[in-house]
Chains A and B, each alone.
Chain A
Amino acid sequence: GAVVSQHPSRVICKSGTSVKIECRSLDFQATTMFWYRQFPKQSLMLMATSNEGSKATYEQGVEKDKFLINHASLTLSTLTVTSAHPEDSSFYICSARGGTGATNEKLFFGSGTQLSVL
């Protein structure tokens, strides 16, 4: 089945640094990618939706200048947390949708990235 690869799985960084998270669709073209954030024991919170070649659409309350999303190709989207602070520590998950036929009907998720900002 279709696979979405997300890297890194875990990152620890100092406050003030920027962190980039990659999300790749391995065997299908992802026309749409979604980025979620999840705090412990809570549900996934949608941060933004990105379509290939266009600017991402951010949810209310999500700072676009802090969470930079790039979806430059049909197989890759990146989320960059700029000038990270301890409150940005969270579990970030990407998902992708695309392909044709039955694949198009599904939403596939990456394995998530645990970000810890010291």
Chain B
Amino acid sequence: DAKTTQPPSMDCAEGRAANLPCNHSTISGNEYVYWYRQIHSQGPQYIIHGLKNNETNEMASLIITEDRKSSTLILPHATLRDTAVYYCIVIPRYNTDKLIFGTGTRLQVFP
């Protein structure tokens, strides 16, 4: 079973920030939080990951709560091309355990 839960869908106006939540209440100490997105008929694209500190890169920011039980992916200025399904998954560091995807959040950015 997936260790993450996400809302099935969200809408966001173009140019506004998109805040995508993820619950991972059973995360263990050696597991990272990863975010990927998938555009129709393509493989998932890596966005960002983190352990316990907030992270930022050219694509997004990741905010992880202090207890690590939830996180939020922030797309600061959403564009129409950001319309995709966003997956939050937990991945053990240096471990080859199977990786289970949850249902993801379908983000629709509208003009």
Contacts and interface: CB of A to CB of B under 8 A. Distances in A.
Nearest to B97: A49
Instruction: Report whether over half of chain A's contact residues are helix, strand or loop; otherwise say mixed.
Output: strand
Contacts of A43: 85, 87, 101-104
Instruction: Report whether over half of chain B's contact residues are helix, strand or loop; otherwise say mixed.
Output: loop
Interface string A23-63: 00000000110101000000111100101000001010000
Contacts of B96: 31-32, 49, 51, 97
A104 interface: yes
Contacts of B46: 106-109
Nearest to A45: B101
Counting chain A residues whose Cβ lies within 8 A of the other chain, the interface size class is: 20 to 34
Contacts of A97: 96
Contacts of B99: 34, 46, 95, 107
Interface of A: 4, 6, 31-32, 34, 36, 43-46, 49, 51, 57, 59, 91, 93, 95, 97, 104-112, 114
Interface of B: 32, 34, 36, 41-46, 49, 85, 87, 91, 93-94, 96, 98-104
